[in-house]
Structure 1
């Protein structure tokens, strides 16, 4: 039941089948650059703190990381980022950036500036061959050639248009840098074809271009609510309380597709709900439950035979970093995953 709940919260029918995971060098580099997760000295990954605060009603955002793929049969300057809606309801793009690495030759002594441009490749009308004149300039940046480094290019509007399209789609980009060759600079793109990608060295994989997008549902959300602290089960408490329970993803065979965390405290509620406890507003699920409890204590029909149950009264979101069904890396703050407090219904 818990596994099914997690899959439902991630909008997944079944656990993803990871047939071609992103090279670990590229994954760890992207996490460091984006501050989406912490990479420990031993290579393990931890998610950053949840952005939604401690309330279950905070707005949910999803961070999607997708790595560039070569476009088969096209010129070397073309790369493609495959995008899709996660769960079908993520419609507003808060931010989207392409990260591109500019590598300088070791013998380079130039201090010149070069201009890198990103064009979106557009498909021409039926019957007309493709032309670079159809491409649309998305972003350009003037950078110096003193040292190798990463550069970001905003592409929010283009990603928004892709996500609003019907079904899955790709953002195809043409990267140009007319003066790079003279300056001893090379934008690191993707080797042409899967065979070349497998044979690429570790450095090339580490500097593979990637796109990071922050998306959220179109509807707004409420603000977090505060409640009194609930009881912790310690072996002495018999009334409704929270029992600690840790879920280890390795134990259920999910460590291959869940990047971080390795597990989490799901917790659960147990204990009795005598009438004198259930009627206290701070320990009940809602004001409605408190009113019903007072009717039940006085024996009013039809509530005299109803009993209160110990249930979660506050749940917290949890950040997860995982591969989805299309093997895209998703960082998501998943609502209502951790039981924080328990009370009587």
Structure 2
């Protein structure tokens, strides 16, 4: 996969414009690059200057460095996180999230309802409550959500009346139902009661609505999924060391007489920078982070005898020997290729202006070796 990406990136921005084939060649290259990212077409940029939910930005910064490279592959559950904002824009505690952008092949791992708890209303008298019981229901009958058969309890917990902040409720089963049958998505309803489930005439606890509060406090559904895409089974590790490779010292007399291509053959196998700039590709409108990343590529010779610094496989060592001794016709020397690959993360707006965090395997050459 990485080799395909490198080729496509090289084609994405031609050095010299050519009259007829350049545009179609660029379009085909970008189409193939979109396939690497699991898309048919690039999502359109948001219609206005829309800010991503802070939760999604914080999550991206937790799982990835500034270039999008995964810090630790075990942090993220699955490889996709989707966020959806409430579509009811109602003052009542009823919420509806449209999940049409979730692909059929995505496995639903966890679904969370995020509600921002506002400062409580002031109450007088000695019976002031310190907690309220908050219950989340899946609506089964939109016309009669308060009837016994009109809703199903999903989650309940005691919520403090001190201060404000986000409250998170698990609603995984409801979302699985909705993705299996889109017509069953009648939304959610939230109730606030006393600690023992007692009714409250004026509940002191309120949550931000999708209509009257700032974008950063709007009700949100966060969905953790896995689309089944997996990369090659190359060795992996924790946080990668992606420092530029050390320069190679060469004989000045040799460099004066050799062509650049012959010099490449004289240099041992090593990793070289390969910058991917999403703005140059034309994707900066819908990609939030990163603005680009260093994919790196492997280049250089694998001369006999292969030392440990070449990180050769046993097969490469044998092939090198056979090639050096001319024991068999048509056997070339081993090739300089990535022997460790890392994933990157993209934070972007999808077709419905939902914010998605997606992890892609095998996108960065972590090190090179002779294979």
TM interval, short-chain normalised: 0.7 to 0.9
Counterpart in the other structure of 1:144: 160
For residue 280 of structure 2, give the secondary structure of its aligned residue in structure 1. coil
- Greater shift, 320-329 or 211-220, is seen at 211-220
The CA deviation at 1:52 is 1.0
For residue 135 of structure 2, give the secondary structure of its aligned residue in structure 1. strand
Counterpart in the other structure of 1:236: 249
The CA deviation at 1:68 is 1.8
Answer with 1 or 2: which has the greater Rg. 2
For residue 137 of structure 1, give the secondary structure of its aligned residue in structure 2. strand
Tell me how far apart the structure 1 counterparts of residues 294 and 85 of structure 2 sit (CA, whole Å).
31
The CA deviation at 1:343 is 2.2
Tell me how far apart the structure 2 counterparts of residues 69 and 97 of structure 1 sit (CA, whole Å).
16
Change (3 A) 1:181 1:223: farther
The CA deviation at 1:329 is 1.6
More helix per residue: 2
- The alignment yields a C-alpha RMSD, in angstroms, of 3.9
For residue 290 of structure 1, give the secondary structure of its aligned residue in structure 2. helix
Tell me how far apart the structure 2 counterparts of residues 7 and 169 of structure 1 sit (CA, whole Å).
32
Query: Equivalent of 2:61, from 22, 37, 45?
Result: 37
Change (3 A) 1:161 1:219: farther
Mapping for residues 220-235 of structure 1, pairs under 5 Å: 224-225=235-236, 232=245, 234-235=247-248
Counterpart in the other structure of 2:44: 17
Counterpart in the other structure of 1:210: 220
Q: Deviations over 1:204-256 (max 9, x none)?
A: 32210112232235699979557xx9993625361211112222322333222
Change (3 A) 1:186 1:106: closer
Runs of 5+ unmatched residues, structure 2? 1-7, 10-29, 194-198, 251-266
1:294 aligns with 2:294: no
Tell me how far apart the structure 1 counterparts of residues 173 and 49 of structure 2 sit (CA, whole Å).
26
State whether residues 81 and 358 of structure 2, in contact with CA within 8 Å, keep that contact through their aligned partners in structure 1: yes
State whether residues 292 and 303 of structure 1, in contact with CA within 8 Å, keep that contact through their aligned partners in structure 2: no
Change (3 A) 1:157 1:235: same
Tell me how far apart the structure 2 counterparts of residues 292 and 90 of structure 1 sit (CA, whole Å).
42
For residue 236 of structure 1, give the secondary structure of its aligned residue in structure 2. coil
1:52 aligns with 2:62: no
TM-score by length of 2: 0.68
For residue 138 of structure 1, give the secondary structure of its aligned residue in structure 2. strand
Tell me how far apart the structure 2 counterparts of residues 220 and 248 of structure 1 sit (CA, whole Å).
24
Runs of 5+ unmatched residues, structure 1? 39-44, 192-199
Query: Equivalent of 1:114, from 120, 132, 136?
Result: 132
More strand per residue: 1
Tell me how far apart the structure 2 counterparts of residues 234 and 257 of structure 1 sit (CA, whole Å).
36
TM-score by length of 1: 0.73
Counterpart in the other structure of 2:188: 173
